[in-house]
Structure 1
Amino acid sequence: MKTAARASFRTRLQGYVALTKPRIIELLLITTVPTMIVAEEGLPSVWLMAATVIGGTFSAGGANAINMYVDRDIDALMKRTAKRPLVTGVLTPRAALTFAVGLEVVAFAWLWLFVNLLSAVLAVAACLFYVFVYTLWLKRRSTSNIVIGGAAGAAPVLIGWSAVTDSLAWPPVVLFAIIFFWTPPHFWALAIRYKDDYSAADVPMLPSVATFRDTSIQILAYTVLVWALTLVFAPVAGVGWIYVVSAVVLGAVFTALAVQLLRTGSSAVAMRLFTFSITYVTLLFGAMALDVLVRNGL
């Protein structure tokens, strides 16, 4: 009985972790610390970085858990999401919602107490936008769902900047735009592979309702826009050659993959583009942080 109880506890614990979508949180937080470094024009205190990352993790995890609570009906219809904890019954909807709301309360209190009020407000605002604008309003109604909904995923750069400066400025606004416009090609590339899932759940994700060519054209258009915005960021933030060279090279590779997708109409290329899009953000923000640290002799 004790072994069974331990196994049950472990299963539920894994279910709660799964509710937060850890892989998505990792991707969001990749942008937070480099933004803080640019805002500080050096290395912020370890405690401030840790406190901001912890608070951001709570907030993003809570938003993702609410998303799973709302989408549990369509998750059951899609192969990609059929093993989520609310579909399998590992957790009850009530337990999931209580956990999600609790995380958001903790996130707000944590950020207000250990970072600042502006960062706390931005984090909760991002959660509310993700839940009410994307999940409840747009996701099941519009092909622009992920385009507009991407604003929530771009919020960590604003939170990271405000954590250091207790204000906002043009550099984080440009970074917000970069992530905002990066989200559609990133997600649509993955959605190409799972378009049948979205069709089965009657979710109008672009690849499930538009032709491959039309989807690829939009992916290319957004990718070129992201490339342009990364170059705009250089004079706005006053970063140097390490960032500029990285932005040019990474943007060229990203765009080349988007062009290849348009020319070939290949799902395999779409997955390569999706995989590279994650690498792209990681390297771009890493180069941004490195540029600042090198120029300041750190």
Structure 2
Amino acid sequence: MEALDYKNASAICQDTILVAAESGNRDIVQEIVGILPLAVYFTNSYNQSFIHLAVKNRCEKVFNLLYQSNNCIYKYSTKFDNSGNSILHLAARLAPPHKLNLVSGAALQMQRELQWFKEASKFVTPYVKQQPNRSGQTAEMIFTEEHKELKIEGEKWMKDTANSCTIAAALIATVVFAAAITVPGGNQSDGYPMFHKSSAFTIFAVSDAVSLFTSTTSLLMFLSILTSRYAEQDFLYALPKRLCIGLFTLFVSILFMMIAFSSTLYLVFGRKKAWVLLPVGALTCLPISSFVLLQYPLLKDVISSTYGRGIFGKQSDRPFP
């Protein structure tokens, strides 16, 4: 391309591609680069390219264009802005508030920030990872400093959630353990339970045992959260994993506790007073549905952010220069 043509194209496209990258408009960036490949080298007054702006503003759709380029590590990993910041330095900075608030809970926000930092590190060389900017700060130093307050808030959020759920799990474990000892109907003279031949009693025994085991597991998971060291990297996988297991097993324990309770009422009243079963069955669904409505959004967010597909990855087979 001749110098004049490049200058004219630059005047037309430079601001457009940078604004599109900053706002997360992936299609415009891809179309401009498809027509004018040299547009990847356009920079703003701070010498920041479109990928710098995408990382700085947490625009994952634009950032994912890197997965469509075979030689992106050579094009972008050695680029520094006027302050000596690489894309990893910018990923280490705290996300803009409007992007941070898209994730619920300080702990999950910390996890998302760690995911960005980890993903950006894949596209830089080992030399760049250790390279300080003009202020003498490496990317890891910036991340620790910028996320100090968020880490404290995430720790508090995790502990408050674990404390609340620990109380519930402990109460359930106590109740179902007592129910296993004092079986409905009492025991016969030979030591066998009165209703040991009934299928409802089998359902009670199995449900009570499952509820005891799952509530104990949930209790241990939440206790491990309370006693965690709360290092930065723990928010990436370890703590969310424990929270997932704890919430899921707590839900299972509540479910089987209600089944065990319903089986007990059937054994004691159901065979002679069948009308009791209808209101009992309806009321059994109340705590289960309440837990699902109140805690399922949190459990869904934790599972999605920890085990889901994630926001990073190749979005198209169209090659990117």
1 or 2, which has the higher helix percentage? 1
Larger Rg computed on CA atoms: 2
Q: Which structure exhibits the higher relative contact order, with contacts defined as CA atoms closer than 8 Å and separated by 6 or more residues?
A: 1
The two structures have a TM-score, normalised by structure 2, of: 0.25
The two structures have a TM-score, normalised by structure 1, of: 0.27
